[in-house]
Chain A
Amino acid sequence: MTWLLAALLIWPLAWGLNGVLVRRAPARMARVAVPLIFGLTVVFVWEALVRGFGIEPVILPAPSKVAQTFADNRSILWLDFVQTGLKGALAGWVIGAMAAVAAALLIDRSPFLTRGLLPIGNLVAVLPIVGIAPILVSWFGFDWQSKAAVVVAMVFFPILVNTVAGLAAADRMQRDLMRTYAAGWGATLWKLRLPAAMPFIFNGLKIGTTLALIGAIVAEYFGSKDVGMGFRITTAAGRLGADMVWAEIWVAALAGSVFYGLVALVERWATFWHPSQRG
């Protein structure tokens, strides 16, 4: 009962505090503190509700229990992360990104190909590509190679479409200027068009980060070795080990956020001149 009361009390309290912070505190501080308070409040209310209502851990484990499981299984979780996050998702993302940029450069040389491939690329980018996971798993086996292949297929088209759009972003005046400098195709590409395309390419890369983790995990549902995040989630869900599933979800969330954050950092470094980065 006390837990329920606490949950009821803490919510308006935190909300009020956030309201005060938004109005009074310096903008910089509010930007960090407000979401933090909000997040902590949600976790606290979750804990309090689970305890107050006595919800079975099978259905929804309390955050404290998940944290406990997380701490107890660090080595397993780390191995799963290496298998799925690094070998599957990251390797596939890197290969897919390089292939997509290379393909975009090739397509870009021919207006005919641009007009032919772009509509198809746009179409494929919205299709449920995860569906080819069973096929790729049967081709490349149960280890990480098949997961990386799924990831390649998933990230390829968004990055391709964005890169082709980005290569067209440099405007006529700028290109003419390069021509007056007698710059060839290579120099124009390197000094003007690739830098101008960077914001678009990074957009594709960021979309790719989430897709990569999804692809690597889903591919494991179709068969995997006895390690990996997708494998662990399905087996834990089968045993009704909700705490383990949630611990794995925390790993996924952490990995996803860090991955996204790193790409965003590189983006800020590479496209510091773009209006969206000068804020």
Chain B
Amino acid sequence: MKSLGPVLTVVAALLALWYAAAVVMNAQWTYDQAERAGTEVTLSELLADTMTQRRPKLPAPHQVLSELKKTVIDTKVTSKRSLVYQASITLGATLTGFLTGTLLGIALAVAVVRSRVMELSVTPWAIISQTIPIVALAPMIVVLSSRIGIEGRLIPKTVIAAYLSYFPVFVSMVKGLRSPDAMQLDLLRTYGAAPGQVFRKLRLPASLPYFFAAMKISMAASLVGVIVAELPTGAVQGLGSRLLIGSQNGQPLMIWAALVVASALGAGLILMVGLLERLLGRMMGVRA
């Protein structure tokens, strides 16, 4: 709680900066309008106008808020114009992709920890796979899957999100599963524990902190993957498509609103992972 004051100060400063920037960036349009009409603008008129333009270069915070109210609260949840509806689609794909990726990451990590051949074969390629900007594949995967005859958009999105989110889990789980030191391993050996028991009772619990740190990164990556996968032409649902439509129709407010909802979604998901971590930690007797 000690940092609440500084954080609020910084947020207030950022908001002030945002308003100032909105005035500066939108002023040009106001001047152009006035020149066309042959009138002069006073400072107060300028300020008022830059806050209320319909297609501002940089919308002021309250404009974004009112757009949010319009699309989140005032629109029915089932309507396509509702950002809640669009966000729920993005959320569904994010979670399925995240789960698939996490399971894949765990499986790979377990295989790598148990087999030296696996380790040497797979690890370098896993790293290389992440230097490929997977988003480059997004339009291709979408086109491909519709070509093969998969109608819904869920599968291509899931593939991309899983691809992005498996890697952090894989890396951290390898590290985590290897984290018990020789002493602990020796102790279990004196107990006559079988390899399976060592795995279940020592390696797995020891890897949990690593696992949760990775889950947060994976969750963020998964959301980015889904949003990007929603961009390619033809995407009709999800927050990503709202970004694209807003960009094509020149409606900055729509883009900003979608952006805010996407950010809130991301922050919420990370928060959930954090809560889960604390809950599981308490069940396993970790002292906070």
Contacts and interface: CB of A to CB of B under 8 A. Distances in A.
The finding on whether chains A and B are genuine partners in a shared complex, rather than unrelated, reads yes
Interface of A: 15, 18-19, 22, 30-31, 34-35, 37-39, 58-60, 112-113, 115-120, 123, 126-128, 130-135, 137-139, 209-210, 213-214, 217-218, 221-223, 229-230, 233-234, 237-238, 240, 242, 245-246, 248-249, 252-253, 256-257, 259-260
Nearest to A23: B116
B147 interface: yes
Interface string B30-55: 00000000000000000000000000
A138 B3 contact: no
Nearest to B255: A134
A123 B220 CA distance: 11
B120 A34 contact: yes
Given A130-B224, A132-B259, A249-B136, A209 B266 contact: no
A253 B117 contact: no
A233 to B, nearest CB: 6
B263 interface: yes
A209 B120 contact: no
A51 B25 CA distance: 57
B10 A217 contact: no
Given A128-B263, A218-B228, A138 B140 contact: no
A58 B140 CA distance: 10
B223 A128 contact: yes
Contact of A131 (B131, B135, B147, B243): B243
Nearest to A214: B133
A38 B227 contact: no
B262 interface: yes
A234 B130 contact: no
B121 interface: yes
A22 B115 CA distance: 10
B267 interface: yes
Contact of B131 (A37, A38, A39, A209): A209
A270 B270 CA distance: 34
A181 B204 CA distance: 48
Range for the number of chain B residues in contact with chain A: 35 or more
B6 to A, nearest CB: 3
A252 B133 contact: yes
Interface string B105-130: 00000000000110011111100101
- By DSSP majority rule, is chain A's interface helix, strand, loop, or mixed? helix
A240 B139 CA distance: 11
Contacts of A15: 117
Nearest to A116: B6
B84 interface: no
Contacts of B224: 128, 130
Contact of B128 (A133, A213, A230, A257): A257
A144 B275 CA distance: 41
Contacts of A119: 3, 7
B137 A249 contact: yes
B244 A222 contact: yes
A233 B140 contact: yes
A233 B262 CA distance: 25
Contacts of B270: 126
B174 to A, nearest CB: 15
Interface in B133-147: 133-137, 139-140, 142-144, 147
B232 A221 contact: yes
Given A210-B133, A221-B232, A134 B147 contact: no
Contacts of B124: 35
Given A210-B131, A234-B139, A115 B7 contact: yes
B232 A237 contact: yes
B270 to A, nearest CB: 6
Contacts of B267: 123, 126-127
Contacts of A35: 120-121, 123-125
Contacts of A135: 252, 255-256, 259
Nearest to A124: B263
Contacts of B244: 134, 221-222
B148 interface: yes
A237 B140 contact: yes
Nearest to A42: B125
Contacts of A233: 136, 139-140
B247 A138 contact: yes
Given A127-B263, A249-B132, A120 B247 contact: no
A116 B9 contact: yes
Given A133-B243, A249-B132, 7 more contacts: A38-B122, A113-B6, A120-B11, A130-B224, A138-B252, A238-B233, A260-B131
